Homo-oligomer: A and B are copies of this chain.
C-alpha cells in the first residue's frame, strides 16, 4: 500500500513539474478537448445529424489526428489532409468508373491492381527527403482515401454522395482545429524557433562566462575542484542540449513556414536563416564541448605555462561571452547588433595579447576567436 501511495505522490509531483515547466501544455490539452467536444455536437444535435449521418465520425477522427501543439503543425496537417482527401477522392471515383467499364468480373481485378499500383508508388515517394519533410502526412492520407473510395465503391452505390459527405465533415473537423488553435492562446512555432535560437546563444555565453574562471581555478588549487564541479554543473552542462537541437529546429522552421503573419513576424519571414544560425551555434557548441574536456581532465602540463596565459584567456572568454550575449539580445529584439562591434574589438585585442605571449600554438584560443566571426556575420544578415 505504501509503495502505491509513494508512486501516486511521485506521479502527482511529476505532473505538477511538467505543467510548471510549460503551462501551454495544459492549455493545449484543454484546447484539444474543446475542439473534440465542439465536433461531437454533430451527433447530439438532431438537425445536424440528419444532414451528415454517420459521416460525422470523420470530423471526430480529423480533430484527434490533426490537432498539434503549434499552430504551424496544425495548419500543415490540416491542409495536407484536406488536399490529399480531395485529390485521392476524385481519383478514386475515376478508378471506380474505369473499373465498371471492364465488366462485372474484371471490376475487382482492375480495382485491386490500381490500389496496388498507387499504394506502391505513393509509399515510395515518402522516402524522398523533400516530400517526407513537408508532405509525409498528405501522402499517407492520399493512399488511405484512394483505397477506401476505390474499394468501398465496389459495394456502396452512392459513392459520390458518400465521398462528398466525408469530405465536408473532414473540412469541418479541420477548420475547427485551425480556428481553435489560432484564436485560443496560440502556440506559434515561429516564435518558439526565434526564442530557441536566442536562448541557445545565451547558453554558450553563460558557459564561456564561467569557463575562464573554472579552467584556471583547477590549475591553481586542486583541492577546490570537487566543490566547483558541483556548483558549476548547471552552466557547464547547459550547452549539451544545443548539440542535439538540430531536429527540433528543423521541424519548427518547417512548421513556421505554414503560419500566417503574427506579432512581429511577417508572412515571408526568413526562417531558413534561423537554421543557419542554429548550425553555427551548434558548431560553437562542439568546440565548447571540446573545451569543457579540459576542465574535467587534469592537464599535467607544466604549471608555469598556464599561469602565463591565464589572464588573457579569462579576459578573452569574458569578452566572447559578452559578444554572444549582445548577439542574443539583438536577435530577441530584432535590431542590428551595434554594440557587438565594441566587444569584438576588445576581443581581438585580448587574442592578440595572448598570441604574443604564446610563440607556440594557441589552439584553445585561436578557436574561440574563429568561432565568433561567422556567428556575428549571420546575425547581421538576419537583422538586415
Contact = CB atoms under 8 A, between A and B. Distances in A.
A43 B123 contact: no
A121 interface: yes
Contacts of A112: 37, 40-41, 44
A124 B25 contact: yes
A124 B37 contact: no
Contact of A115 (B37, B287, B359): B37
Contacts of A367: 290, 293
A65 interface: yes
A116 B34 contact: yes
A31 to B, nearest CB: 9
Contacts of A305: 360-361
A57 B36 CA distance: 23
A147 B36 contact: yes
Nearest to A363: B363
A61 B143 CA distance: 10
A32 interface: yes
A9 interface: no
Give the bracket for the number of chain A residues in contact with chain B: 35 or more
B370 A293 contact: yes
Contact of A25 (B115, B127, B286): B127
Interface stretch (A150-158, A257-265, A267-275, A331-339): A150-158
A34 B120 CA distance: 8
A154 to B, nearest CB: 5
Contacts of A366: 297, 299
A363 B148 CA distance: 64
Contact of A33 (B28, B123, B247): B123
A297 B362 CA distance: 13
A302 interface: yes
Contacts of A148: 57, 60-61
Contacts of A360: 301-302, 305, 360
Interface of A: 14-15, 18, 25-26, 28-30, 32-34, 36-37, 40-41, 43-44, 49, 54, 57, 60-61, 64-65, 108, 111-112, 115-117, 119-121, 123-124, 127-128, 140, 143-144, 147-148, 151-152, 154-156, 243-244, 246-247, 282-283, 286-287, 289-290, 293-294, 297, 299, 301-302, 305-306, 359-364, 366-367, 370
Given A32-B119, A299-B366, 8 more contacts: A25-B127, A33-B119, A54-B155, A64-B143, A293-B370, A306-B361, A361-B363, A363-B364
Nearest first, the 9 A-B pairs at minimum CB distance are A33-B120, A33-B119, A44-B108, A29-B123, A29-B124, A29-B120, A64-B144, A33-B116, A290-B290
